[in-house]
Amino acid sequence: MKGRSIFTQAVHAGERMAHPDCTPVVTPIYHSIGYLYKDMRNLDMVLAGEKEGYVYARYGNPTTRAWEVAMAMLEGADDAVAFASGMAAIHAACLVAGARAGATLVAAQDLYGATYNLLARFLSTLGVRTHFLDVTNLAAVDEALEELRPAALLCEVISNPLLKLVDLPALCELSHQHGAQVIADSTFTTPYLLRPLEHGADYVVHSATKYLAGHDDVLGGVVVGSRDRMKGVRELLKAIGSNLGPNEAYLALRGLKTFPLRMRQHCSNAAQVAAWLETQPGIERVYYPGLRSHPQHELAQRLFSDKGYGGMAAFEIRGGNQEKVFCFFEALRLVLSATTLGDVYSLVLYPAHSSHRSMTPAEREQAHIGPGLVRLSVGIEDAQDIIADLEQALQVVK
């Protein structure tokens, strides 16, 4: 660059400094949109899909690719495609699994609110019909699959906020008998507890925003599955452009390194907190799959084979109402009240005024989202500190 104009130097100086003898330990954040090829035939092969490589950021990015490769590995899958959010990943999985005009989907009635909206309010206007039902009722699922012949069934392995479980192997078998593909949202379970593909699921989707990244600092999503299905997902991603950016991919990849350690602590803490909550006179009911009192505790044992029962719990404050719950939240000193989950921090959320706000009180009652119900995402702090904070806040409410 010596001897060239400052305009030219400003554009090129310092760039493309190759290090032929060494490799950085950590995947760098590649912001480059375009890529250079010495041999144009290589570029031609990459463009033809005959060779792996990078051409343009929407087609692929090395930092994002590193996160995809890691996720495919953790899920025991051929491949994974990263998205800018969990919702973008769910949207893509639905489209590739056959959500098109005239098609029907079957979905769990207690899906994550935004997923419910995507299906009920948006895909419906494009001619995709979704039938919502209780996916824990296998007889009802069988009947719906027989009658509706849906392209796909969409469910969450653990539901939000009441922690109901689906019998994923049975659900996958039924779906496949009727020619429907299964999309499993495994955000709450994560590959630490279960790998849905091993139970027959065709697509696994995650909000990486939650446990996988885990630090409340990155929005991301991923779809995982077979090579063929992921090829379709990537083609769609190229067309819609809801890509996970390199900074986000870096944070997600960084988070993933401690994810099993965090999950182990989340599970252990949640089990202790749930057991303690159950002994409290001020608590009416505790929802946690690891408790013997959970109606599907045996199914949880079978699905998670003793690795734990996740970090999510819910409980009802005795005689609780909005005023009491607000008072409880404001009295908490360690546990944070924030609208997310799966973070290192312990978090509470009030479903009646957030995730389930758009329902009428009668609808909420029918869905068992009572006015005293609190959702708790147990963090990785010390369990005794979390319990002490909940205890002092419950004293204030009393």
Ligand X SMILES: *Cc1c(COP(=O)(O)O)cnc(C)c1O
Residues engaged in binding ligand X (CB under 6 A): 85-87, 112, 114-115, 156, 160, 185, 187-188, 207, 209-210, 219, 221
| In the block, residue with structure tokens 């392995």 | 157
Over its C-alpha atoms, the chain yields an Rg (Å, rounded) of: 23
307 is catalytic: no
Q: Which of 210, 229, 364, 375 is catalytic?
A: 210
Q: Which of 112, 211, 287, 345 is catalytic?
A: 112
Residues 6+ apart with CB under 8 A from 294: 163, 287, 288, 300
Find the shortest distance in angstroms from Cβ 4 to ligand X. Answer: 46
The alpha carbon dihedral of 85, 87, 93, 96 has a sign of: negative
Find the shortest distance in angstroms from Cβ 382 to ligand X. Answer: 25
From 115, 154, 162, 75, select the one nearest 375 (Cα to Cα). 162
CB 64 within 8 A of CB 210: no
- Which run of H or of E encompasses 19? none
2 is catalytic: no
Using CA atoms, how far apart are residues 379 and 265, in angstroms rounded to an integer? 8
Q: Which is nearer to ligand X, 115 or 346 (CB)?
A: 115
Q: Which of 35, 37, 58, 216 is catalytic?
A: 58
Find the shortest distance in angstroms from Cβ 389 to ligand X. Answer: 23
Find the shortest distance in angstroms from Cβ 91 to ligand X. Answer: 9
Quote the tokens at residue 331.
Answer: 């009295």
| Strand pairing report for 104-108 and 152-156 | parallel
Q: Which is nearer to ligand X, 248 or 394 (CB)?
A: 248
Q: Which of 185, 192, 234, 345 is catalytic?
A: 185
Q: Which is nearer to ligand X, 184 or 394 (CB)?
A: 184
Q: Report which residue's Cβ sits closest to ligand X.
A: 86
Provide the Cα torsion 279, 300, 355, 131; round to 10°.
-140
Q: Which is nearer to ligand X, 63 or 85 (CB)?
A: 85
324 is catalytic: no
Residues 6+ apart with CB under 8 A from 4: 12
Quote the tokens at residue 67.
Answer: 């996160």
Q: Is 364 left (phi over 0), alpha (psi -120 to 50) or beta?
A: alpha
Burial of 86 (C-beta count, 10 Å sphere; 0-12/13-18/19+) = buried
Q: Which is nearer to ligand X, 244 or 332 (CB)?
A: 244
Find the shortest distance in angstroms from Cβ 204 to ligand X. Answer: 12
According to DSSP, residue 194 is labeled: -
Find the shortest distance in angstroms from Cβ 52 to ligand X. Answer: 27
Q: Which is nearer to ligand X, 79 or 185 (CB)?
A: 185
4 is catalytic: no
Residues acting as catalytic residues: 58, 112, 185, 210
